[in-house]
Amino acid sequence: MSIIFYIFLVIIVGIFVLIWFKILDKFGG
């Protein structure tokens, strides 16, 4: 597994988590 693939995976997961927290905040608040 290359470093670039790992960084790409971290970015994708980070964006997904950010969107998920925005959705939870919208429903929660």
Residue range of the domain that includes 9: 1-29
pLDDT tens-digit profile of 1-29? 799 999 999 999 999 999 999 999 888 76
CA–CA gap between residue 2 and residue 8 (Å, rounded): 10
CA–CA gap between residue 12 and residue 2 (Å, rounded): 16
CA–CA gap between residue 29 and residue 4 (Å, rounded): 37
pLDDT at 29: 61
For the entire predicted model, the pTM comes to 0.60
**Tokens read off for 11:** 């970015």
pLDDT at 13: 98
- Counting the structural domains of the chain, the total is 1
Residue 2 main-chain phi, psi, to 5 deg:
-90, 160
